Amino acid sequence: MASTIIIRMAAASSFVQRSGSQLLLDGQPYRIVGGNTYYLGYVIEPTLNAALDLAQSFGMNSIRIWAFLDSAQPPGEWDVSFQYWDAAKAAPVANEGPNGLQRLDRAVASARERGIRLILTLTNNWPDFGGMPQYVQWLGLDAKHKNSFYSDPRCKEMYKNWVRQIVTRYRNEPAILAWELANEPRCEGHGGSDTLLAWADEMSAFVRQLDPNHLIGVGDEGYFKRHQAWGNPLYNGQYGVSCEDLLGLSAIDFGTMHMYPQSMAKDQDPVEFGLMWIREHLEAGQRANKPMLVEEYGLMAPYPDRNAVFAQWLASIEDLAGVGDMLWMMGLPKGPDQWYAPDAYVIESATDAPAIADHAAKMTRDKLAIST
């Protein structure tokens, strides 16, 4: 019977740090090869272990997960949530129980034991699992005006309370690679990019006050805001995001970009668009003297040969000395503890994308391969 190669790395014991546009671990260059498995902190232990096994089969050293799960009401006996609205207190409160933050604790501890580091994302632009729309709803604000999340003092204070809960819980934990303020924050409309920039400046400084140890990123999609970009939403600031301005914030350690050619550039060749999008963002990071992480990349199946496309994109990151990349998404078949069935982006086996394991071998160091 064919053996499966599992990459075992030493348990995380030191913090990853930034030096200019590079990342360091114990004074040596550190490069990220990872995947997004957002539900890692939500699931029961067998699912958690299976997901970590999958990451190790790719040779990954990092996983990005959600550190939020917001509910409109107190959870039932079997409901999983991290924070919920307490009507008596007229405020959201943390769920410290076994179907609450204890699940996230278990994910962090299990990742540490395997030498895998986690990026913890603190809220969501989208309504999945609560996020910004839930904060707005908690306060009875008009859901059409989601941008009030960034400007309403009550929303900002609620968010800070949640950030304080999570950051102080794990600020001495070396298995945490980085904090991210939000998943794909946008602030569309007049003056939106200035509003988002001010919010990210305030919140990243707040995280830094709480935690001097860990890296901080915004978690944005990497849109540009440039003059004469006309009708191109990737460059004209339409989404209220300027990745270059966000990179300039003093408490932000690294930039992020997300890459989905089939939706972002439907009229372009996916390979060529990806190579261009990677190059432009790594160059933006170099100008800012900060790392730029290719934080989400993916292609929807069916696609003639996703692996061949991934191989070209990942080789480009290697050639341009990028700090790393994270697949969207690495996942398992649908189980009872997962909210959604795998979508068309999900890769369920390292054999479906061997380019990633090859890339990991080039990007990471200090690995011990154990056949099982």
Listed in sequence order, the residues at least 6 apart from 298 whose beta carbon sits closer than 8 Å to its beta carbon are 259, 260, 327, 328, 329, 345
Catalytic residue among 184, 221, 244, 295: 184
Q: Mean pLDDT in the chain? A: 94
Specify whether 295 is catalytic: no
Contact 29, 78 (CB under 8 A): no
pLDDT at 371 over 80: no
Instruction: Tell me the residue type at 43.
Output: V
Return the ∠ at Cα 338 (arms to 69 and 80), rounded to 5°.
40
**What is the rounded average pLDDT of the residues 314-330?**
97
**Predicted confidence band at 364 (pLDDT cuts at 50, 70, 90)?**
confident
- Ranges 93-97, 235-239, 256-260, 361-365: which has the least confidence: 361-365
Specify whether 280 is catalytic: no
**In what helix (H) or strand (E) does residue 93 lie, and over which residues does it extend?**
strand 91-94
Peptide bond into 257 cis (omega under 30): no
pLDDT score of 6: 53
Radius of gyration of the chain (CA): 20
The 10s digit of each residue's pLDDT in 282-310 is 999 999 999 999 999 999 999 999 999 99
Listed in sequence order, the residues at least 6 apart from 268 whose beta carbon sits closer than 8 Å to its beta carbon are 261
Q: Which two tokens stand for residue 172?
A: 């001495």
Contact 16, 215 (CB under 8 A): yes
Between CA 240 and CA 217 the distance in angstroms is 17
Nearest to 42 by CA among 51, 33, 34: 51
Peptide bond into 302 cis (omega under 30): yes
DSSP state of 296: E
pLDDT at 372 over 80: no
What CATH number does domain 24-371 carry, 3.40.50.300, 3.20.20.80, 2.40.50.70, 1.20.910.10? 3.20.20.80
Contact 295, 264 (CB under 8 A): no
- List the beta bridge partners of residue 62: 34, 117
The 10s digit of each residue's pLDDT in 141-151 is 987 778 999 99
Listed in sequence order, the residues at least 6 apart from 27 whose beta carbon sits closer than 8 Å to its beta carbon are none
Rounded to 10 degrees, the C-alpha dihedral 122/161/144/218 comes to -30
pLDDT score of 143: 76
Between CA 120 and CA 36 the distance in angstroms is 11
- β-strand pairing of 292-297 with 324-327: parallel
Between CA 172 and CA 100 the distance in angstroms is 21
| CA distances (Å), origin 144, targets 133, 137, 140, 158, 190 | 9, 10, 12, 19, 15
Catalytic residue among 180, 244, 295, 296: 296
Between CA 192 and CA 369 the distance in angstroms is 48
Instruction: Tell me the residue type at 334.
Output: K
Q: Which two tokens stand for residue 177?
A: 């690679």
Tokens 């959870």 sit at which residue? 75
